[in-house]
């Protein structure tokens, strides 16, 4: 009678043998397949590093931006906000504000009581502040998007690199059949197994990279929208108090 208690032991043994067989196939693979596997491993490790690094960066930026926004709306003086902005070095909002404030501070002749400036001059001054805000936004978005295209590259090229290894393995299998004039599993098993392992490695590198790329692009887009809203609010405050 079959003892059901032996089932986990049999499964564990089979799993261990499968892992040992896969490792043996990888170690015994030819130079081309080994090179493809090393390349895919490098791309996968780099993708995971970039994903973790950018996730931490965006999380930190979001938290510090929220703290800066609390200071911004609670304070009644722009100079006080500017002095507090240095406390949030990882907040994109603080950098955008500092750029706009520095440009505004250059307009020494425009005050809330100044009625002598022409409308054209006032509009030009507002445009200068707006350009400074846009430049700061582009700089922050460029920093946030840095290294993210690598994930798209990995996601789009890894399957094709794996496909190259697959085609190579199948080609070697047919060459073995031609040389040995036999088509048994002992002849084609090794190269076909190598081909399938390379295919799996390509998918393993590509799928997480694509998911991470889409997520990071969405987070950067949200950050850009928040900076757009902040810039609009800052310009409204400037217009109300400095360009009446």
Secondary structure tally for the chain: helices H, strands E:
7, 0
pLDDT score for 22: 61
Specify the pLDDT at position 79: 85
Please report, for residues 118, 138, 242, the alpha-carbon distance to residue 99 in angstroms, rounded to integers and kept in the order given.
Answer: 25, 12, 17
What pLDDT, in 10s, does the model give residues 30-62? 788 888 889 999 999 999 999 999 999 999 999
pLDDT for the residue numbered 97:
93
Please say if the pLDDT value at position 23 is more than 70.
Answer: no
- Spatial contact of 97 and 64, defined as CB atoms under 8 Å apart: no
Instruction: Delimit the domains of the chain by residue range.
Output: 27-242
Confidence bin at 237 (pLDDT 50/70/90): confident
Distance from C-alpha of 88 to C-alpha of 69, rounded to nearest angstrom: 10
The mean pLDDT of 9-23, rounded to a whole number, is: 50
Average pLDDT, the chain: 81
| pLDDT for 128 | 85
Cα Rg of the chain (Å, integer) = 30
Of residues 142 and 188, more confidently modeled:
142
pTM of the model: 0.77
Of 54, 82, 68, nearest to 226 by C-alpha is 68
Angle at 42 between CA 37 and CA 45, to 5 degrees: 120
Share of the chain above pLDDT 70, in %: 75
SS3 content of the chain, % helix, strand, coil (to 5): 85, 0, 15
CA separation for the pair 192, 169 (Å, rounded): 6
CB proximity list for 35: less than 8 A, separation 6 or greater: none
Q: What is the pLDDT of residue 5?
A: 43
**How high is the pLDDT of residue 35?**
87
- CB count, 10 Å around CB of 201? 24
Write down the pLDDT at residue 34.
84
User: What is the pLDDT at residue 214?
Assistant: 96
Question: In whole angstroms, what is the distance from residue 68 CA to residue 233 CA?
Answer: 14
**Residues in contact with 174: Cβ distance below 8 Å, sequence separation at least 6, in sequence order:** none
CA dist list (Å): 79 to 89, 92, 101, 113, 172: 17, 18, 8, 19, 72
C-alpha closest to that of 135 among 187, 85, 100, 177:
100
Q: What pLDDT digit, counting tens, does each position of 58-111 carry?
A: 999 999 999 999 999 998 888 889 988 889 999 999 999 999 998 888 875 544
């Amino acid at each position: 009678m079959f003892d059901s208690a032996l089932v986990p032991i049999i499964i564990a043994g089979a799993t261990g043998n499968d892992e040992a067989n896969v490792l043996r196939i990888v170690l015994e693979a030819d130079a081309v397949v080994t090179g493809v596997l090393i390349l895919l491993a490098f791309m996968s490790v780099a993708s995971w590093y970039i994903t973790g690094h950018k996730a931490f960066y965006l999380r930190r930026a979001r938290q510090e931006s929220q703290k800066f926004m609390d200071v911004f709306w609670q304070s009644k003086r722009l100079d006080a906000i500017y002095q507090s902005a240095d406390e949030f070095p990882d907040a994109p909002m603080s950098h955008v504000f500092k750029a706009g404030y520095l440009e505004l501070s250059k307009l020494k002749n425009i005050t809330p009581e100044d009625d002598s400036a022409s409308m054209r001059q006032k509009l030009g001054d507002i445009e200068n502040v707006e350009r400074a805000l846009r430049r700061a936004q582009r700089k922050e978005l460029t920093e946030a998007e840095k290294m993210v295209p690598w994930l798209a590259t990995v996601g789009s090229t890894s399957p094709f690199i794996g496909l190259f290894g697959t085609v190579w393995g199948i080609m070697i299998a047919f060459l073995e059949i031609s040389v040995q004039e036999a088509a048994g599993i002992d002849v084609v098993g090794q190269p076909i197994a190598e081909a399938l392992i390379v295919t799996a490695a390509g998918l393993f590198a590509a799928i997480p990279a694509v998911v991470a790329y889409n997520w990071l692009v969405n987070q950067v887009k949200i950050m850009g929208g928040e900076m757009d809203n902040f810039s609009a609010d800052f310009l409204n405050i400037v217009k109300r108090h400095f360009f009446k």
